[in-house]
Amino acid sequence: MRNFFPFPDFTEPSPRPDVSDLRGQVREFLEEERAAGLIVPGLQTWTSFDRGFSERAAACGYIAMTWPKRYGGHERSAFERYVVCEEFLAAGAPVGSHWMADRQSGPQIMRNGTETLKDEVLPKIAAGKLTFGIGMSEPDSGSDLSSVRTRADKVDGGWRMEGRKVWTTNAHHADYLIVLCRTEPKSEDRYAGLSQLVVPLDAEGVTVRPLVNLTGEHELNEVIFDGNFVPEANLLGKGGDGWRLVTEELAFERSGPDRFLSTFGLLKVLVAAQEGNSDPHPVGEIGRLVARLAAIRELALLIGDRLEKGESANGIATIAKDLGTGLEQEIPEVARRIMAERPVRGQSDAAGALAFAILSAPCFSLRGGTREILKGIIARELGLR
Protein backbone atom coordinates (compact mmCIF):
# COMPACT_ATOMS: atom_id res chain seq x y z
CA MET A 1 0.00 0.00 0.00
CA ARG A 2 1.23 3.44 -0.81
CA ASN A 3 2.00 5.44 2.29
CA PHE A 4 0.13 8.70 2.67
CA PHE A 5 2.96 10.05 4.84
CA PRO A 6 6.07 8.57 6.46
CA PHE A 7 5.33 6.30 9.42
CA PRO A 8 7.07 5.89 11.75
CA ASP A 9 8.29 9.33 10.88
CA PHE A 10 12.04 9.71 11.34
CA THR A 11 12.22 13.19 9.79
CA GLU A 12 12.62 16.23 11.98
CA PRO A 13 9.16 17.40 13.11
CA SER A 14 7.97 20.68 11.60
CA PRO A 15 8.62 23.51 14.01
CA ARG A 16 5.41 25.17 15.15
CA PRO A 17 5.40 28.64 16.71
CA ASP A 18 4.29 29.01 20.32
CA VAL A 19 0.65 29.99 20.03
CA SER A 20 -0.35 30.31 23.68
CA ASP A 21 -0.48 34.13 23.49
CA LEU A 22 -2.49 33.99 20.30
CA ARG A 23 -4.96 31.52 21.82
CA GLY A 24 -5.27 33.76 24.86
CA GLN A 25 -6.07 36.81 22.70
CA VAL A 26 -8.60 34.95 20.56
CA ARG A 27 -10.34 33.56 23.64
CA GLU A 28 -10.53 37.02 25.15
CA PHE A 29 -12.07 38.35 21.94
CA LEU A 30 -14.58 35.49 21.87
CA GLU A 31 -15.43 35.98 25.53
CA GLU A 32 -16.35 39.60 24.80
CA GLU A 33 -18.57 38.49 21.93
CA ARG A 34 -20.22 35.92 24.17
CA ALA A 35 -20.71 38.41 26.98
CA ALA A 36 -22.41 40.73 24.51
CA GLY A 37 -24.81 37.91 23.58
CA LEU A 38 -23.46 37.68 20.03
CA ILE A 39 -22.60 33.98 20.21
CA VAL A 40 -25.43 31.51 20.74
CA PRO A 41 -23.76 28.28 21.87
CA GLY A 42 -25.10 25.09 20.35
CA LEU A 43 -27.26 26.87 17.77
CA GLN A 44 -24.63 28.24 15.42
CA THR A 45 -22.17 26.72 13.01
CA TRP A 46 -19.55 28.00 10.65
CA THR A 47 -22.22 28.92 8.15
CA SER A 48 -24.04 31.27 10.58
CA PHE A 49 -23.88 34.74 9.06
CA ASP A 50 -22.91 37.83 11.06
CA ARG A 51 -21.06 40.53 9.13
CA GLY A 52 -20.40 42.48 12.33
CA PHE A 53 -18.59 39.54 13.89
CA SER A 54 -16.39 39.19 10.83
CA GLU A 55 -15.53 42.90 10.78
CA ARG A 56 -14.54 42.82 14.44
CA ALA A 57 -12.52 39.64 13.89
CA ALA A 58 -10.80 41.28 10.92
CA ALA A 59 -9.94 44.32 13.04
CA CYS A 60 -8.07 41.96 15.38
CA GLY A 61 -6.20 40.45 12.41
CA TYR A 62 -8.01 37.10 12.47
CA ILE A 63 -8.97 37.04 8.79
CA ALA A 64 -6.55 36.67 5.86
CA MET A 65 -3.91 35.78 8.41
CA THR A 66 -1.48 34.13 6.00
CA TRP A 67 -1.94 36.53 3.09
CA PRO A 68 0.64 39.11 1.96
CA LYS A 69 0.36 42.50 3.64
CA ARG A 70 -0.19 44.22 0.29
CA TYR A 71 -3.57 42.49 0.07
CA GLY A 72 -4.50 43.33 3.63
CA GLY A 73 -3.13 40.10 5.05
CA HIS A 74 -0.97 39.56 8.12
CA GLU A 75 1.74 37.21 6.83
CA ARG A 76 1.39 34.77 9.69
CA SER A 77 1.86 31.02 9.49
CA ALA A 78 -0.79 28.53 8.37
CA PHE A 79 -0.56 26.99 11.83
CA GLU A 80 -1.50 30.28 13.47
CA ARG A 81 -4.44 30.60 11.10
CA TYR A 82 -5.47 27.07 11.98
CA VAL A 83 -5.38 27.94 15.68
CA VAL A 84 -7.65 30.95 15.22
CA CYS A 85 -10.07 28.92 13.09
CA GLU A 86 -10.38 26.12 15.61
CA GLU A 87 -10.81 28.55 18.50
CA PHE A 88 -13.65 30.27 16.58
CA LEU A 89 -15.38 26.99 15.81
CA ALA A 90 -14.93 25.49 19.28
CA ALA A 91 -16.62 28.59 20.69
CA GLY A 92 -19.47 28.30 18.18
CA ALA A 93 -18.77 31.74 16.72
CA PRO A 94 -20.86 32.91 13.72
CA VAL A 95 -18.10 33.01 11.14
CA GLY A 96 -20.32 32.49 8.07
CA SER A 97 -19.76 35.94 6.60
CA HIS A 98 -16.04 35.46 6.00
CA TRP A 99 -15.47 31.71 6.29
CA MET A 100 -15.62 30.64 2.62
CA ALA A 101 -13.69 33.69 1.42
CA ASP A 102 -10.94 33.23 3.99
CA ARG A 103 -10.71 29.46 3.57
CA GLN A 104 -11.13 29.03 -0.12
CA SER A 105 -12.17 31.87 -2.39
CA GLY A 106 -9.49 34.35 -1.33
CA PRO A 107 -6.60 31.86 -1.64
CA GLN A 108 -8.01 30.72 -4.99
CA ILE A 109 -8.10 34.30 -6.27
CA MET A 110 -4.60 34.86 -4.88
CA ARG A 111 -3.29 31.88 -6.86
CA ASN A 112 -5.23 32.24 -10.08
CA GLY A 113 -6.88 35.66 -10.21
CA THR A 114 -5.95 38.70 -12.28
CA GLU A 115 -4.23 41.63 -10.57
CA THR A 116 -7.33 43.78 -11.12
CA LEU A 117 -9.47 41.26 -9.33
CA LYS A 118 -6.99 40.76 -6.49
CA ASP A 119 -6.84 44.51 -5.84
CA GLU A 120 -10.60 44.77 -6.00
CA VAL A 121 -11.58 42.00 -3.59
CA LEU A 122 -8.71 40.73 -1.44
CA PRO A 123 -8.30 43.79 0.83
CA LYS A 124 -12.07 43.87 1.40
CA ILE A 125 -12.13 40.16 2.30
CA ALA A 126 -9.28 40.79 4.72
CA ALA A 127 -11.32 43.59 6.29
CA GLY A 128 -14.24 41.20 6.83
CA LYS A 129 -16.43 43.25 4.50
CA LEU A 130 -17.06 40.73 1.73
CA THR A 131 -18.92 37.44 1.66
CA PHE A 132 -18.24 34.76 -0.93
CA GLY A 133 -20.28 31.78 -1.97
CA ILE A 134 -19.30 28.63 -3.83
CA GLY A 135 -21.31 28.00 -6.96
CA MET A 136 -20.74 24.40 -7.87
CA SER A 137 -23.86 22.23 -7.45
CA GLU A 138 -26.75 22.47 -9.90
CA PRO A 139 -30.19 20.85 -9.93
CA ASP A 140 -28.87 18.05 -12.15
CA SER A 141 -25.22 18.14 -11.04
CA GLY A 142 -24.55 17.06 -7.50
CA SER A 143 -21.60 14.75 -7.13
CA ASP A 144 -20.93 14.67 -10.88
CA LEU A 145 -19.69 18.23 -11.25
CA SER A 146 -18.36 17.72 -14.75
CA SER A 147 -21.96 17.72 -15.93
CA VAL A 148 -22.66 21.35 -14.92
CA ARG A 149 -24.76 23.16 -17.50
CA THR A 150 -24.38 26.76 -16.36
CA ARG A 151 -22.49 28.42 -19.16
CA ALA A 152 -20.65 31.64 -19.83
CA ASP A 153 -20.37 32.91 -23.39
CA LYS A 154 -17.61 35.26 -24.44
CA VAL A 155 -18.82 38.79 -25.17
CA ASP A 156 -16.99 42.05 -25.56
CA GLY A 157 -15.02 42.78 -22.36
CA GLY A 158 -16.22 39.72 -20.48
CA TRP A 159 -18.78 36.96 -20.29
CA ARG A 160 -22.50 36.57 -20.34
CA MET A 161 -23.89 33.87 -18.10
CA GLU A 162 -26.90 31.55 -18.25
CA GLY A 163 -27.81 28.84 -15.79
CA ARG A 164 -28.71 27.88 -12.27
CA LYS A 165 -26.83 26.95 -9.09
CA VAL A 166 -28.45 25.40 -6.04
CA TRP A 167 -27.76 24.72 -2.36
CA THR A 168 -25.48 27.74 -2.33
CA THR A 169 -24.67 28.68 1.26
CA ASN A 170 -25.27 32.32 2.18
CA ALA A 171 -25.73 33.44 -1.43
CA HIS A 172 -28.39 35.88 -0.18
CA HIS A 173 -25.69 37.66 1.83
CA ALA A 174 -22.84 37.12 -0.60
CA ASP A 175 -21.19 39.80 -2.70
CA TYR A 176 -19.60 37.30 -5.06
CA LEU A 177 -20.05 33.74 -6.10
CA ILE A 178 -17.24 31.71 -7.61
CA VAL A 179 -19.11 29.84 -10.29
CA LEU A 180 -17.97 26.67 -12.00
CA CYS A 181 -19.36 26.88 -15.50
CA ARG A 182 -18.86 25.67 -19.00
CA THR A 183 -16.97 28.11 -21.23
CA GLU A 184 -16.37 25.63 -24.04
CA PRO A 185 -18.71 22.92 -25.38
CA LYS A 186 -18.47 19.48 -23.82
CA SER A 187 -15.92 17.23 -25.53
CA GLU A 188 -14.40 13.76 -25.10
CA ASP A 189 -12.66 14.91 -21.93
CA ARG A 190 -15.63 15.78 -19.75
CA TYR A 191 -13.46 17.79 -17.36
CA ALA A 192 -12.12 20.07 -20.11
CA GLY A 193 -13.75 23.37 -21.01
CA LEU A 194 -14.89 24.27 -17.51
CA SER A 195 -13.92 27.59 -15.96
CA GLN A 196 -14.28 29.37 -12.65
CA LEU A 197 -15.65 32.90 -12.78
CA VAL A 198 -15.92 35.35 -9.90
CA VAL A 199 -19.46 36.56 -10.37
CA PRO A 200 -20.72 39.78 -8.75
CA LEU A 201 -24.15 39.03 -7.35
CA ASP A 202 -25.43 42.61 -7.54
CA ALA A 203 -25.32 42.47 -11.34
CA GLU A 204 -28.51 42.75 -13.36
CA GLY A 205 -29.78 39.29 -14.34
CA VAL A 206 -28.91 37.50 -11.09
CA THR A 207 -31.77 36.27 -8.91
CA VAL A 208 -31.29 34.65 -5.49
CA ARG A 209 -34.11 32.54 -4.09
CA PRO A 210 -34.20 31.00 -0.58
CA LEU A 211 -34.03 27.26 0.12
CA VAL A 212 -34.93 26.56 3.74
CA ASN A 213 -32.91 23.75 5.32
CA LEU A 214 -33.93 21.12 7.89
CA THR A 215 -33.23 23.38 10.89
CA GLY A 216 -35.80 25.78 9.45
CA GLU A 217 -33.16 28.35 8.60
CA HIS A 218 -32.57 30.16 5.37
CA GLU A 219 -28.88 29.58 4.61
CA LEU A 220 -29.08 27.76 1.30
CA ASN A 221 -30.17 29.36 -1.93
CA GLU A 222 -30.93 28.89 -5.53
CA VAL A 223 -29.07 31.34 -7.76
CA ILE A 224 -30.37 31.99 -11.26
CA PHE A 225 -28.18 33.58 -13.93
CA ASP A 226 -30.13 35.13 -16.74
CA GLY A 227 -27.73 36.96 -19.01
CA ASN A 228 -25.74 38.71 -16.27
CA PHE A 229 -22.40 40.19 -17.30
CA VAL A 230 -19.11 39.09 -15.74
CA PRO A 231 -16.05 41.25 -16.45
CA GLU A 232 -13.08 39.73 -18.24
CA ALA A 233 -10.84 40.31 -15.21
CA ASN A 234 -13.00 37.98 -13.12
CA LEU A 235 -11.85 34.80 -14.82
CA LEU A 236 -9.68 32.54 -12.66
CA GLY A 237 -6.83 30.74 -14.38
CA LYS A 238 -6.50 30.53 -18.13
CA GLY A 239 -10.07 29.53 -18.88
CA GLY A 240 -11.03 25.94 -19.62
CA ASP A 241 -8.90 24.73 -16.70
CA GLY A 242 -11.60 25.15 -14.06
CA TRP A 243 -11.54 21.52 -13.05
CA ARG A 244 -7.87 21.72 -12.09
CA LEU A 245 -8.59 24.80 -9.99
CA VAL A 246 -11.45 23.02 -8.24
CA THR A 247 -9.35 19.99 -7.33
CA GLU A 248 -6.43 22.17 -6.21
CA GLU A 249 -8.49 23.84 -3.53
CA LEU A 250 -9.96 20.63 -2.21
CA ALA A 251 -7.14 19.75 0.18
CA PHE A 252 -7.65 23.15 1.80
CA GLU A 253 -11.40 22.81 1.83
CA ARG A 254 -11.47 19.32 3.25
CA SER A 255 -8.94 19.23 6.04
CA GLY A 256 -9.91 22.18 8.22
CA PRO A 257 -11.45 22.15 11.69
CA ASP A 258 -14.83 22.89 10.07
CA ARG A 259 -14.87 19.22 9.08
CA PHE A 260 -14.80 17.85 12.61
CA LEU A 261 -16.03 20.61 14.96
CA SER A 262 -19.53 21.20 13.58
CA THR A 263 -21.17 19.54 16.60
CA PHE A 264 -18.48 20.38 19.14
CA GLY A 265 -20.96 22.67 20.92
CA LEU A 266 -23.13 19.64 21.65
CA LEU A 267 -20.14 17.60 22.80
CA LYS A 268 -19.35 20.37 25.30
CA VAL A 269 -22.92 20.24 26.58
CA LEU A 270 -22.72 16.45 26.81
CA VAL A 271 -19.44 16.53 28.75
CA ALA A 272 -20.76 19.17 31.13
CA ALA A 273 -23.90 17.11 31.77
CA GLN A 274 -21.83 14.09 32.85
CA GLU A 275 -19.65 15.96 35.33
CA GLY A 276 -19.44 13.81 38.45
CA ASN A 277 -21.10 10.79 36.81
CA SER A 278 -19.37 7.65 38.05
CA ASP A 279 -21.15 5.29 35.65
CA PRO A 280 -18.32 3.99 33.46
CA HIS A 281 -20.48 3.40 30.40
CA PRO A 282 -21.47 6.93 29.41
CA VAL A 283 -18.08 8.24 30.54
CA GLY A 284 -16.39 5.67 28.30
CA GLU A 285 -18.60 6.64 25.37
CA ILE A 286 -17.59 10.28 25.83
CA GLY A 287 -13.97 9.20 26.04
CA ARG A 288 -14.33 7.35 22.78
CA LEU A 289 -15.62 10.51 21.07
CA VAL A 290 -12.95 12.72 22.64
CA ALA A 291 -10.18 10.28 21.66
CA ARG A 292 -11.50 10.31 18.11
CA LEU A 293 -11.68 14.08 18.00
CA ALA A 294 -8.13 14.42 19.35
CA ALA A 295 -6.84 12.00 16.70
CA ILE A 296 -8.67 13.59 13.77
CA ARG A 297 -7.34 16.96 14.91
CA GLU A 298 -3.81 15.56 14.76
CA LEU A 299 -4.52 14.42 11.21
CA ALA A 300 -5.70 17.93 10.29
CA LEU A 301 -2.57 19.45 11.85
CA LEU A 302 -0.37 17.02 9.96
CA ILE A 303 -2.11 17.96 6.70
CA GLY A 304 -1.55 21.62 7.53
CA ASP A 305 2.17 20.98 8.01
CA ARG A 306 2.36 19.17 4.69
CA LEU A 307 0.46 21.85 2.78
CA GLU A 308 2.68 24.54 4.24
CA LYS A 309 5.77 22.63 3.06
CA GLY A 310 4.21 22.23 -0.39
CA GLU A 311 3.77 18.46 0.01
CA SER A 312 0.77 16.62 -1.38
CA ALA A 313 -2.16 16.06 0.95
CA ASN A 314 -5.20 15.39 -1.23
CA GLY A 315 -5.50 11.76 -0.17
CA ILE A 316 -5.20 12.38 3.55
CA ALA A 317 -7.39 15.48 3.38
CA THR A 318 -10.10 13.29 1.86
CA ILE A 319 -9.70 10.82 4.71
CA ALA A 320 -9.78 13.65 7.26
CA LYS A 321 -13.06 14.97 5.90
CA ASP A 322 -14.70 11.57 5.76
CA LEU A 323 -13.70 10.66 9.31
CA GLY A 324 -14.30 14.15 10.69
CA THR A 325 -17.83 14.42 9.35
CA GLY A 326 -18.52 10.89 10.55
CA LEU A 327 -17.59 12.01 14.06
CA GLU A 328 -19.70 15.15 13.74
CA GLN A 329 -22.65 12.92 12.95
CA GLU A 330 -21.91 10.41 15.68
CA ILE A 331 -21.84 13.03 18.46
CA PRO A 332 -25.60 13.79 18.35
CA GLU A 333 -26.42 10.09 18.29
CA VAL A 334 -24.25 9.34 21.34
CA ALA A 335 -25.59 12.46 23.09
CA ARG A 336 -29.17 11.37 22.42
CA ARG A 337 -28.50 8.04 24.05
CA ILE A 338 -26.64 9.38 27.08
CA MET A 339 -28.36 12.62 28.03
CA ALA A 340 -31.58 12.61 29.97
CA GLU A 341 -33.05 15.04 27.47
CA ARG A 342 -35.51 14.91 24.64
CA PRO A 343 -34.42 16.99 21.63
CA VAL A 344 -36.60 20.08 21.71
CA ARG A 345 -36.05 23.15 19.60
CA GLY A 346 -36.14 26.82 20.38
CA GLN A 347 -33.66 27.37 23.21
CA SER A 348 -29.90 27.46 23.50
CA ASP A 349 -29.84 24.70 26.11
CA ALA A 350 -28.95 21.01 26.05
CA ALA A 351 -32.26 19.95 24.48
CA GLY A 352 -32.01 22.73 21.90
CA ALA A 353 -28.40 21.96 21.02
CA LEU A 354 -29.30 18.29 20.61
CA ALA A 355 -32.22 19.09 18.31
CA PHE A 356 -30.13 21.50 16.26
CA ALA A 357 -27.30 18.99 15.83
CA ILE A 358 -29.65 16.18 14.77
CA LEU A 359 -31.35 18.42 12.23
CA SER A 360 -28.02 19.72 10.86
CA ALA A 361 -26.19 16.41 10.71
CA PRO A 362 -27.22 15.06 7.28
CA CYS A 363 -25.45 17.87 5.43
CA PHE A 364 -22.03 17.23 7.04
CA SER A 365 -21.31 14.28 4.76
CA LEU A 366 -22.82 16.00 1.70
CA ARG A 367 -21.26 19.46 1.48
CA GLY A 368 -17.70 19.65 0.19
CA GLY A 369 -17.87 16.20 -1.45
CA THR A 370 -20.25 13.43 -0.48
CA ARG A 371 -19.03 10.50 1.57
CA GLU A 372 -19.37 8.21 -1.46
CA ILE A 373 -17.24 10.46 -3.65
CA LEU A 374 -14.61 10.67 -0.89
CA LYS A 375 -14.47 6.91 -0.53
CA GLY A 376 -13.98 6.61 -4.26
CA ILE A 377 -11.04 9.02 -4.10
CA ILE A 378 -9.50 7.10 -1.20
CA ALA A 379 -9.96 3.82 -3.08
CA ARG A 380 -8.17 5.30 -6.08
CA GLU A 381 -5.30 6.42 -3.86
CA LEU A 382 -5.08 2.83 -2.61
CA GLY A 383 -4.76 1.55 -6.16
CA LEU A 384 -8.21 -0.03 -6.31
CA ARG A 385 -9.65 1.86 -9.28
Partner 1 sequence: MTDTARMLDDTAERLLSRHFAAFSRESEDAAPKLVAELKEAGLDLVLAPEEAGGLQAGTLEASAIAFRWGYHAAPGAMVERLLLNQLAAPLGLESGDRHAICLEDASGRDERYAYASLLDDAKRILVCSAGQDDTLKVAVFDAANAERRKSMAGEDVLVLDLSAVAALETHKLEISFPEFRARAALLTATAILGATQRQLEIAIEHVNTRKQFGRPLAKFQAIQNLLAEAASEHVVAQAAVRSAIVEQEAGRLKPLRWQSAKVQAGRAATVVTAATHQVLGAIGFTEEHVLHHYSKRLWAWRDDFGRQSELERRIGADACANATKFWPWMVD
Tell me the window of 73-81, 108-116, 217-225, 275-283 that interacts with partner 1 (CB under 8 A): 275-283
| Interaction between residue 384 and partner 1 (CB under 8 A) | yes
Q: Which H, E and C letters describe 149-194, residue by residue?
A: CCEEEEECCEEEEEEEECCCCCCCCCCEEEEEEECCCCCCCCCCCE
Out of 1, 35, 36, 340, point to the residue binding partner 1 (CB under 8 A): 1
Nearest approach in angstroms of CB 280 to partner 1 is 5
Query: How far is CA 369 from each of CA 142, 299, 319, 385, rounded to the nearest angstrom?
Result: 9, 18, 12, 18
Dist CA 239 CA 235 (whole Å) = 7
| Interaction between residue 10 and partner 1 (CB under 8 A) | yes
DSSP class of 207: E
What is the C-alpha end-to-end distance of the chain, expressed in Å?
A: 14
Element holding 236 (H helix, E strand): strand 235-236
Residues 89-108: x where in contact with partner 1 by CB under 8 A, - otherwise, as a string? -xx-----------------
| Interaction between residue 38 and partner 1 (CB under 8 A) | no
Nearest approach in angstroms of CB 330 to partner 1 is 13
Binding footprint of partner 1, residue count (CB under 8 A)? 59
Tell me the window of 86-94, 175-183, 187-195, 202-210 that interacts with partner 1 (CB under 8 A): 86-94
Taking phi over 0 as left and psi of -120 to 50 as alpha, with beta for the rest, 227 belongs to left
78 neighbors 72 (Cβ within 8 angstroms): no
**DSSP annotation string for 44-79:** --TT---HHHHHHHHHTT-SSTTS-GGGT-----HH
| Interaction between residue 156 and partner 1 (CB under 8 A) | no
Out of 233, 283, 359, 366, point to the residue binding partner 1 (CB under 8 A): 283
260 closest CA partner among 169, 326, 355: 326
Site residues for partner 1, 306-335, by CB under 8 A, read 316, 319-320, 322-323
Out of 35, 36, 294, 340, point to the residue binding partner 1 (CB under 8 A): 294
Using CB under 8 A, list all residues that contact partner 1.
1, 4-5, 7-13, 20, 23, 27, 86, 90-91, 264, 267-268, 271-272, 274-277, 280, 282-288, 290-299, 301-302, 316, 319-320, 322-323, 372, 375-376, 378-379, 382-385
